[in-house]
Amino acid sequence: MSNLKAFETTLDGINTNLDLYRLLDACKTRVGSSIIASSTICYDLSGTVAYTGGSATPYVNAYVSNPFHTLNTIPSPYFTEKDGKRSFTYDNILGYWVNTGYITDMDKLTAFKQDITDLSGGLNRATDFNSNIKDKYKTINELRSELDNKMRDIYNPEDQDPYILHNQSVYMTLSWTILATSVLYYLFVKL
């Protein structure tokens, strides 16, 4: 069983490196279904320019401001170097992207994969889903009820207890006065 909060935190860490994800996505889109993740070269770095894998065309991506800088930050085990040129496969970039966000050892990688497997069966398989969500829901409903009452008091001061009591006493006094006047009129004038 997976802990939903821990998985969410881990996933947030992975999602922070958006430029790498965009480079991965662009590579997969460009190469298409013929991609072989471990051997298809997505990008080459030579000098200070990033090239489209296996070509002499400088790589440009509207969503990644500086592809060279993004790729240049990837350390040694995640690329192959030959003749002063660094080549990045899809697996190289994906491995670095996942490792920087979450995975620092194989146990964590295994746990992350297990989290994905567990959560793909539905949120009810997470260990903290039922209690955590229900508690938050109850807390939020109580808070909302309290805030609604306070807002009602602010926007409708005539509905507050002192105003209701005042209005009630005024109308009761008026009713008794009318009744008493009517009885006295009837007694003295009609009889």
Note the pLDDT tens digit of each residue in 42-92.
Answer: 778 777 777 777 677 777 766 676 777 777 777 777 788 877 788 888 788
Q: Measured in Å, how far apart are the chain's first and last C-alpha atoms?
A: 91
Give per-residue pLDDT as tens, 6-50: 666 666 655 556 777 777 778 777 777 767 767 777 778 777 777
Say whether pTM exceeds 0.85. no
Task: Please state, in angstroms and rounded to a whole number, the distance separating the CA atoms of residues 151 and 155.
Answer: 6
CB 128 within 8 A of CB 4: yes
